[in-house]
Structure formats: structure tokens, C-alpha cells
Amino acid sequence: MRLVFYTGKGGVGKTTTAAASAAHAAALGHRTLVLSADPAHSLGDVLGLRLASDDEGAPQCVTPQLAALEVDARATLEPHWGAIRDYLVSLFRHQGIEDVIADELALLPGAEEVAALLAVEAAARSGDYDFCVVDCAPTGSTLRLVTLPEIASRTLRLLLRVQRAVAAVVSPVARAVVPMPLPGPEVFRDIDRLLYKRLAALREILLSETTSIRIVVTPERMVIDEALRAHTDLALFELPCDAVVMNRLFPPEAAAEAFFEGWGHWQEERLAEVGELFAPLPVLRAPLASDEVVGAAALAAHGARIFAGADPAARLCDAPRLRFTRDARGYRVELPLPHARSDALDVAKLDDSLIVRTGTRRRAIPLPRKLAQLSLVGAKLEAGLLIVRLAAAADGAR
């Protein structure tokens, strides 16, 4: 299944663009699912439908080839989070928190992101769709969404092992003397299933060749600057972008009017700038419509204008990825980091991982066994490519 995430700064038109992409793909014959991962759902409004969330979390048919889903975090997580939720509710109740509030608190931060990813995985496993479009929340939430499987599996795995070991020894004694509820084996079972099985499967989906991200921008400086930062952060986690969509462009006929003439020149300058900054990614033009784009037919027509003959389900650009290479001087780790700045970049080696930090984002990159035994010799940033050299201690000293 082909999977595309649409992200961008809040208010740039991600939902309309994602829905138009999905509707156009469906019109071309692809079995398509458009899924809203934004807690403030507006996908149903754009489709002109009320997307009811049932207990099953099943997508709703829009056209014969198009289905839509607004993810209900509570309903989606229930099969995976039930025992954990029940334990947290009992713990909050013990602290004197009212039942309704305790139930809300048990839906921990990040639940929306987990639920959206589980819905994506369910769609992939079902085999019912050729193409899945995800309408993401604004940029920061999108980064949490797409990096969650890696970060959660690495940081919580050790915590789970330690907690389980301690609970096995302490719980039989503690239950007799500690009044507060303690987690039982079913809690650890659910965490184990969610972390090791589901998140691992999601990580494989996100890193596969069938997944890419498209950034929606408007011709505004703050929007473009945020998109550049997002592009760097996504590259750090090996999440490839295959296009940028420049939204809300005045059509040529509007530029003919004296009032809009200056806006037209300004937009063309921004278009040229975005094309240069994000190269080699293609920049798709999304014209400002004369009326609201609502309903499957209007969205499909809008999608046809955006893609101008291209297939929305196609991979529009192949971005370079993380590489481990060897030359006469030793081993190299090459990680594309477009728009990164040397003064905001830190690289270190810790045990069997390479730690890379750019701006506020940090990632631990697991190294192959042979490279994990080597020492960090040096790192440099060349034209958006981070090159890290590794060698044996004796070789590095020469």
C-alpha cells in the first residue's frame, strides 16, 4: 500500500490538499483511504459529510473508490490499551480523582499519534486499499507522529524490562503493605504487545519505499521557514519527502487585475525561492479556487489541477537516504540533512549508536555490528549531507 502524509504549518490548507489528493487518486481508479490524524478533525467538513466514529473505527465510504476516516483515539486504542488504561484509572481514583477525570487522564499524551498510526497499520494489513493519504496535524504534531515508533520502542523498552523485573520481586510483598494499586501481568502484556509488535511493524511501514511525506506551504516567509526546519527534522529520522505543495496561489487571471499585480510578482518570487531551497523535490502548484472546495467531485477536480497530469499515488521524487560506506580512509556514515546548519549540529558516538542532534531534535542511529566497534574520527556537513567517519582507534590516531 502506498502511504503519503501531508504536513505543514497550521492553516496552510493541509486538509483540503490531502483530501484533493485522495479524491483525485480515487478518480484515477486507486482504492483510496484518506485518514485524519489531526485531533481537531475537519476532514468530514471538506468532504461535506459527517464522518461518524463507531466503536470499530471503520472507514466510511465516500465514493466507490474512496473511503474516509477520522481517527477516534479512544476507540482505536481500546484493544491495545485496555489493561493499561484500567490500571491508570484505578491509580488516579486512589489519588482521589473523580471517575470521569481519571478516565480522561488515562488517555495519555501521544495517544492521538499512536491511534493514527494503528489505523494506518490496520489499513495496510487489510489489503483493501492501494493508496492511503494521512491528513496530519500541524508540523510539530506530525513529527511526533512519524517518529513515535522509533523513539517509543528505544526509550520505553529498557524501562519496561526494569519495571517488569522489579515488579516480579517487589509486587508480592508490596501488595500486602502498599495501599495503592500495583500493575499486574496483563498491564505488562499489553505494553509488550504494543511496543514490540505493533510499533515495530509501524516503523517498518514508515521506513519502507512505499511511504513519503509532502509538505504544504503558502507563499509566506514564516510558513516557508517552518517547512525548511521540518524537512531537516524528517530527514534526520530517514522519513523522505517527495514533493512540496505551494498552496493558495492566485490564478493568472487574477494577476491581470491591477490590485493583484504586485501579489502575482511576489508569489512568483516565492515559488522560485521554494523551488531552489527544496530542490530536487518537485513543487506542485495549488491555485486559489474561486469558491470553497467541498465534496468529493470538487476535491477531485482540485486535485487534478494540483498534480497537472501526475499520479498522486506515484512517488514523485526519490530522496537520498542513510548510507554506510567504506573508502581508503575507513568507514563513513552519510546522512542527508537538508538545510541543517553546522553551528546547530552535534554528533557523538555512544556504545553501538551514533547520536545526532540538529536544532531541538535528537536521534540515536543504531550502527551495524562492525561499525559499532569503531571510534568516531570526525564529522562534517557538506551541501546538506552529514558525513561521519569511523575507524579503529589505531587508524584514527594516524
- Cα–Cα distance between 150 and 57 in angstroms, integer? 25
Instruction: Tell me the per-residue pLDDT of 27-43, one tens digit each, with 9 for 90 and over.
Output: 999 999 999 988 778 89
Query: For the ranges 60-69, 84-93, 209-218, which has the lowest average pLDDT?
Result: 84-93
Instruction: Tell me the per-residue pLDDT of 348-386, one tens digit each, with 9 for 90 and over.
Output: 999 889 999 998 888 989 899 899 999 999 999 998 999
| pLDDT the model gives residue 169 | 47
Q: Which one, of 136, 133, 129, lies nearest residue 307 by Cα?
A: 133
Banded pLDDT at 327 (limits 50, 70, 90): confident
| pLDDT the model gives residue 38 | 81
Banded pLDDT at 5 (limits 50, 70, 90): very high
Mean pLDDT for 254-264 is 69
| pLDDT the model gives residue 177 | 44
Pick the CATH number of 323-397 from 3.30.70.2740, 2.60.40.790, 2.30.30.90, 3.40.1640.10: 2.60.40.790
Mean pLDDT for 142-169 is 57
Instruction: Tell me the per-residue pLDDT of 105-153, one tens digit each, with 9 for 90 and over.
Output: 445 555 667 778 888 888 888 889 999 999 987 877 667 667 766 665 5
* Topology of the domain comprising 1-316: Rossmann fold (3.40.50)
Banded pLDDT at 346 (limits 50, 70, 90): very high
Every domain of the chain and the residues it spans: 1-316, 323-397
pTM of the complete model: 0.82
